[in-house]
Amino acid sequence: MATYQPYTEFSSVTGGGFDNSDRPNSGDADGAVNRTNTLHPVTIKQILESTQEIQDGPFVSHNQELHHVCFVGVVRNITDHTSNIYLTIEDGTGQIEVRKWSDDATDMAAGNNEEDKQGSSQAAQQYQMGTYVKIFGALKEFGGKKNIQYAVIKNVESFNEVLAHHLEVIKWHAIANGKIPNPSTGSGEPLQQGAMGGNQSGQSLFVTENESNHSISDRILEFCKKQCEGKDANAFAVPIPLIAQSLNIDENTARNCCTTLTEQGFIYPTFDDNNFFAL
């Protein structure tokens, strides 16, 4: 396995990861931090119809507080501004525009010089109209229009991801409205933990991974939770190389397990597909 430089050289946070000294003050109560770091699977209609019950408060939709959200939809239009792109996403319940900034230095340079633009930017070439994508980000509102801030957009590889997402939406809507017990509070007969959890008898709706990968996933989840405790999800993430180095596993195994944990709703990608935040 490749050797990596200690991440403490790039971060003031003991144990590694990426941090930002300019991040907002995290002196809020633990309860408030936990609420704002929850990730809710939603439909676009839920996003558009969500309202703020108090000024500057959280958005609420069907008894759910929406801070960080994820949703799945089809790319209907791509507007390329070189340094950033706008994707129009539609999921059958509504449509929303999502802005994605380019991570490519060439794109950023061309964005500052109109004469240097040649064809589609690298950011725009990652997506195609008519294909499914999954979006993660923080729900905000500017000028009376809902926006997804710090958006991470992933291409959907299998339609099973679309079906699984809608099952997650149904589950958490049912939990929020008291139709089934909440696994995090222990009320009633507990469900199997996670956004892809099972029915009231604890049986999963989906085939589980093999025992060895499950054990590694548990270790990764515990490690990520410890790293992310008390951190701001908008300014901190745990990178794949750090996970692999710290747990003495190869990067491909770490990446596969992180993908599974993302699908189950325990963690989600932040800066890109190689950096994760635990809920």
CATH placement of domain 39-158: 2.40.50.140
pLDDT of residue 212: 58
The better pLDDT of the pair 149, 86 is held by 86
Q: Identify the band that residue 200 occupies on the pLDDT scale cut at 50, 70 and 90.
A: very low
Distances (CA, A) of 162 to 70, 73, 157, 222: 12, 8, 10, 27
pLDDT of residue 205: 45
pLDDT of residue 13: 37
Residue 72 scores a pLDDT above 80: yes
Chain segment 233-243, per-residue pLDDT in tens: 778 889 999 99
Domain ranges of the chain: 39-158
Q: What is the CB neighbour count within 10 angstroms for residue 150?
A: 15
Residues 68/135, Cβ–Cβ less than 8 Å: no
Residue 64 scores a pLDDT above 70: yes
Chain segment 99-149, per-residue pLDDT in tens: 988 766 565 555 555 544 445 788 888 899 999 999 998 898 888 889 898
pTM of the model: 0.59
* 172-181, 211-220, 227-236, range with the lowest pLDDT: 211-220
| Count of residues in the chain | 279
User: In one letter, which amino acid is 166?
Assistant: H
Residue 58 scores a pLDDT above 90: no
Q: Is residue 117 packed enough to be buried (19+ CB in 10 Å), middle (13-18) or exposed (0-12)?
A: middle
Query: What is the mean predicted confidence (pLDDT) over 1-15?
Result: 38
Averaged pLDDT of the chain: 75
Chain segment 150-164, per-residue pLDDT in tens: 788 989 989 999 999
Residue 197 DSSP SS3: coil
Distances (CA, A) of 100 to 136, 137, 151, 197, 271: 11, 11, 6, 31, 11
pLDDT of residue 81: 85
